[in-house]
Amino acid sequence: MTNLKLSVTQKIPAFKAGQVLVLGVTTEAGKLQLREHSIDASTLVGLDLASLGVSSKQEALVRIPGPNGAVFALLGTGTDELDEDSLRELGASAARQLNAAREIVFDLPTDDERDAVSILEGAMLGVHRYSSAFSKSAKKEVLAAVTVLSEHKVSGGQIQRSRILARAVGRVRDLVNTPPNLLFPKSFAEIVSAESKDFDVKVTVLDEKALKTEKFGGILAVGQGSSRPPRLVKIEYKPKKAKKHLALVGKGITFDTGGISIKPAASMVGMKYDMTGAATVYQAILAIAALELPIQVTSYLCLAENMPSGTAIRPNDVITIRNGKTVEVLNTDAEGRLVLADGLSAASEEQPNLIVDVATLTGAARVALGDRYSALMGTADAVSELEAAAFDSGELVWHMPLPVELRSRLDSDVADIANAKIGSTAGGMLLAGVFLKEFIGSSKKTGKMIPWAHLDIAGTANNESAAYGYTPKGATGVALRTLVSVAEGMSR
């Protein structure tokens, strides 16, 4: 995908073998119709499209032979007017279904340059494949070029931005899809250190000895049951012209058994994806650095493997988080909030303008919002900023409350706070947010809580069903583009 030739042009290409020409199909007055297009599609005139299986249903795709060995791909686009989001979805769906083509040419209606580049961005998101753990006999990609026909000019900078975002989303997916015997705290930290050398960032890795010295009690506690010790990876991007500081904190549980509060076997499958938050904030800062945005960004990757053993934390253990607060652990499967507590405490010490944490935190998020909406909680100003960024990126978030009355459920007789309420599932997603709020520091300038947003992506980070739009089966890479959009907004 990195070598994929991308272009937006008004020039109509000549028909040739290996080329697939994507045309949109809609329904008007009960009859199938082609959307507005520029390519000569006269060979399709008179064909009974319905009898050929063509449909206007979103993402339905039928191939029909074209002139000189080219192929028409008639893509269902629904009946609504097409916008950036729908064009991004359609571009991805077509590219995914046409992965054996040498060149894909999109001839869909575009109202402006953002529409045109959205198709390109979608196509790049759609063609990504995870292949690292497959044998060498796995099918290789052949797609070499994606062209969008549009009368609207798109700058090289706009195309490059989409390429950077698609690459970052792809790397998140790759990391999340990696088997847990290959990706664990130490190897994850080594990957970050190696890959980051190509970017203008500084990487600091704290091993278990340094974590103890620096009082990261939450990360240490969660990781103490594993033979593969935990890590905190801090990545810093500090351009000279930066006026604001964004802190990103990611949950990085490389595998979650639940610990002593062990999960049922069926619930444990897929728990390699519990490090999605860390992968997301890692790739977000690299994308921000690649875009050379004038904003200081610090990412904290809180990495641990949650395993049951003779050294694992137990229910009723009390641990001390970096900010000095003590936590009684009542459920060792509520471990993500413990590592995030350390990360949020460390982020608060640097007094950023905004803290955003990203985590596959609670199964309750999926119960409440399904698998397409990420839960968003936090301070009012931060929530507004994240909502705007998500809307601009075409990603779905839903603002959830942080009810004050829930705090009493986390009262402990032996510590400042408990990490869970045993015996009650009511408001589990909200209760986790209330817990995290305890570890956000105050601004020295205003005396108020530092603006903070929490994204619970437990339902959206992994797609167990069939692919749709730019969302593949498996790791989705959700929230990456939203985080970059937040940084772009703060840079203005």
- Asked if residue 137 has pLDDT above 70, the reply is no
Integer Cα distance of 460 and 445 in angstroms: 36
**The pLDDT of residue 138 is above 90:** no
* Domains recognised in the chain with CATH numbers: 5-152 (3.40.220.10), 163-491 (3.40.630.10)
Q: Mean pLDDT, the chain, as a whole number?
A: 96
Separation CA 212–CA 103 (nearest Å): 54
Position 142 scores a pLDDT of 81
337 given a catalytic annotation: yes
**pLDDT tens digits, one per residue of 441-465:** 999 999 999 999 999 999 999 999 9
Read out DSSP for 391-412? HHHT--EEE----GGGGGGG--
The pLDDT tens digits for 368-386 are 999 999 999 999 999 999 9
**Pick from 364, 233, 396, 224: which is nearest to 299 by CA?**
233
Residue 456, both tokens: 């619970």
| Per-residue model confidence (pLDDT) at position 170 | 97
Whether 139 is catalytic is no
**Predicted local distance difference test score (pLDDT) of residue 424:** 86
The pLDDT assigned to 69 comes to 97
Please check the confidence at residue 20 and state whether its pLDDT lies above 60: yes
**Residue 129: per-residue pLDDT:** 87
Q: Over 90: is that where the pLDDT of 11 sits?
A: yes
pLDDT band of 34, cuts 50, 70, 90: very high
Task: Give SS3 for 299.
Answer: strand
The C-alpha R_g of the chain, in whole angstroms, comes to 24
Q: What is the pLDDT of residue 144?
A: 94
Q: Which of 88, 163, 251, 337 is catalytic?
A: 337
Cβ within 8 Å of residue 153, ≥6 positions away: 8, 113
* pLDDT range class, residue 136, cuts 50, 70, 90: low
Which pLDDT value is given to residue 2?
A: 54
Q: Which of 486, 297, 460, 295 is nearest to 393 (CA)?
A: 486
The whole-model pTM stands at 0.96
Percent of the chain with pLDDT over 90: 96
Structural tokens at position 352? 């950023």
The first and second tokens of residue 436, run together, are: 């995290």
* DSSP single-letter state for residue 15: P
Q: What's the pLDDT tens digit per position in 248-281?
A: 999 999 999 999 999 999 999 999 999 999 999 9
Does 57 have pLDDT greater than 90? yes
- Is residue 390 predicted with pLDDT exceeding 70? yes
- Alpha helix segments (H runs only) across 245-375: 265-268, 276-290, 336-349, 363-369
- What pLDDT does residue 134 have? 57
Q: What is the pLDDT of residues 289-299, one digit of tens each?
A: 999 999 999 99
**Alpha-carbon torsion 7, 10, 14, 17, what sign?**
positive
User: What amino acid occupies position 384?
Assistant: S
| pLDDT confidence of residue 389 | 98
pLDDT of residue 425: 87
CA distance 132 to 174: 8
| pLDDT tens readout for residues 311-368 | 999 999 999 999 999 999 999 999 999 999 999 999 999 999 999 999 999 999 999 9
Percent of the chain with pLDDT over 70: 97
Confidence band of 130 (pLDDT split at 50, 70, 90): confident
Q: Please say whether the dihedral angle defined by the alpha carbons of residues 406, 411, 304 and 300, taken in this order, is positive or negative.
A: positive
pLDDT tens digits, one per residue of 66-116 = 999 999 999 999 999 999 999 999 999 999 999 889 999 999 999 999 999
Which entry of 114, 244, 263, 372 is annotated as an active-site residue?
Answer: 263
